[in-house]
Structure 1
Amino acid sequence: MKMPRVRFTLRSMMAAVAAIAGLLALPTWLQQFVAVVSLPCLAIFSACRLVAKRRRRLAAVCFWTLAILANVLFAVISVYPGMISVLLLLAWCVIFLPTLAGFGVAWAVAATPEAAAQQSPRRGAWAWVVALSVMPGITAWTAWPFHLAFLSARASLEQLADQVEAGQAISFPQSLGPFEIVASRIDARTGGIALLTDPNPSGPSGFVRHKGLLIDAYRFNCYAPIRGDWWHVGLGDGWCYHEED
């Protein structure tokens, strides 16, 4: 009676070894792609197992732990703007959304017969699943943590920009809220002032202030002192954030 089970185990082990060997034989970039794609697939498979076994408590632990960590991680990283937002959005679409949705659905569906009769708690569970699964994507798309961080540091940025405009001697770097300003530029023709967070000559980044210019509506009007051809975020009242290609 034990022989078929042993044979099945050996076959499974041999198949796993063959799969690992085949994966190691692939190019590095393809190995990374397979590894990334396999994560949500494993999560969805695990969620289906939890539903089949009615492990609602374990599904809740998996969903809430991952949802809280993902939302906090996205909020912290999104304080700093740039192409990182695009990478976060891609990671959300490929990894976090299917993973969170899988465990969330398992938590909402894998109810005991007694809990299944209570409709209102399950409706609340579905609301939490949708909200916490979608929120990381909204964070990456809107970069709302960066806007809040800018508002908290705006008074200091205004003061520093006024000093640059007046031609005062300023020492760098300066920490203004969560941002570190390492250099400044001023465009004599337009009066635009750039407070740089990255002074790289081939692609500087930083805050740009243009007084009396509607840069939110006409983004290409605020091209000096640094352009926003790689990344442009309008911040209102003459302020924007630029990354130059």
Structure 2
Amino acid sequence: MHVVPLPALADNYIWLLHDDSGHAIVVDPGDATPVEKALTSRGVELRAILLTHHHRDHIGGVDALLSRHDVPVYAPHDERIDRATHRVGDGDVVTFDAPCARFDVIAVPGHTTTHIAYAGEGVLLCGDTLFSMGCGRLFEGTPAQMLASLDRLAALPGHTLVCCAHEYTMANGRFAQTVEPSNTALATRQQEVSELRARHQPTVPVTLSTERATNPFLRTDSEDVIAWSQRQGIDGDRVARFAALRANKDVFTG
């Protein structure tokens, strides 16, 4: 399976997955134009659309795609997504014959209450829940919900490729280094990210094992994050540490 990030809008990635036989799946198409260009340039046929949540920058291109392609649309149980043909939730399995693929559906509330992720074929299609060295803002969910969601994603195999929906990695890394300045894996990753962006290349996908070593939102139990939280006056449990991380990231301008 080929996994291709398609830059779209200001900083989104639409994910195109296709096989060598010309069959493709697209994930979170906020804009139809880059999808159509990629389908044409790669000589592949769209067979399905997967959606993780209702935000416009993730579903804005669905109508235009459906006007040209008669394909199923998989989406969470959320009436704000009105073009879904298949509603899926936690524990469901989505399978395709062409391309031959299988994805487990994981409920990941936090960024929105109905957010889902798709895991399979060696990839994690996580929308705005997990970013490289970061996580999504809490627009509808609670810190406890988001932390539980991230815990579930972090438990997937380390070789899993994290396919998130925004190019936020450089800024996320700068914040992460204020939390764990002595984390050598983080320093190495941030240097890699800097070099990639200098060449205008995507910083994702990235392995989940790398995220577990560098992403403070997956490291709430690490000594460095605990020490950082204590410096913020947070002596509570891991949910309190996570909430402090997210609150500080919300106002970070470095």
TM-score (norm: length of structure 1): 0.26
| Higher helix residue share | 1
Q: Radius of gyration: which is bigger?
A: 1
